[in-house]
Amino acid sequence: MVEASAFAISMGAFLALTMVALHFAKGTERVIPDDIAEEVLEQRASTVPEIDFPEPSNRAIGGGGGAAAAVGGGEGAEGELEEGGAEEASGPGDIPEDEVEYFEIEFAKEGETIEVANNETLLEAGEDEGWDLPYACRQGQCVSCGGQVADGPSEDYIEHDNQQMLDDNEISEGYTLTCVAYPRGEFTLETNETP
């Protein structure tokens, strides 16, 4: 009986010591990689088969279609520009020689009446006579070359090629910009007159 008790005590002591030893024993530390995300991504990537996405055809159907439309629009715009250019090319001064008409224009201050072709500006016609007529831009964008038709509204006698300075009232008072003014009838012109 004494032997059994001694054995039990020694077993108890052994278990107690074992528990204490386990309690103080250093556990195995879990090692966390620096960048786990990258490793996980690589692992996942290796499990996904490579797929060739049909990107070019996608573009052709979707965004590419839009791009194609944009290109188409560009072509359209070019076409319009070309048409605009063609219109520009057929301005009031672009009358072919075999269709040219001449009108007698009296330059009042110069004291002469001259024939001016309907594809020639009043300014050019006067300069051809050697007259020192005023001008600056020669594009209808100032009033330096201004003149006045004595016989009525200037556009009853003149076709302007894109004049940008005279308003309707000034036109009806006979004012004209001689650098872009092509005769369409006979009249008397006062040069160097501005509104």
Interface ranges with ligand FES (CB under 6 A): 135-138, 140-142, 144-145, 177, 179
* For ligand FES, the closer CB: 64 or 91: 91
Give me the least distance between CB of 86 and ligand FES, in Å please.
25
* For ligand FES, the closer CB: 15 or 136: 136
Confirm if 114 and 125 have CB atoms less than 8 A apart.
yes
* For ligand FES, the closer CB: 134 or 153: 134
Give me the least distance between CB of 76 and ligand FES, in Å please.
34
* For ligand FES, the closer CB: 105 or 179: 179
Beta strand 158-160 with 181-183 is: antiparallel
Give me the least distance between CB of 194 and ligand FES, in Å please.
10
φ/ψ of 95, rounded to 5, equals -85, 125
* Interatomic CA distance for residues 195 and 89, integer angstroms: 30
Nearest alpha-carbon partner for 190 in 146, 152, 159, 158: 146
Confirm if 112 and 129 have CB atoms less than 8 A apart.
yes
Give me the least distance between CB of 105 and ligand FES, in Å please.
17
Give me the least distance between CB of 122 and ligand FES, in Å please.
10
Which 3 state secondary structure label does DSSP give 167?
coil
* Interatomic CA distance for residues 158 and 153, integer angstroms: 9
* For ligand FES, the closer CB: 181 or 187: 181
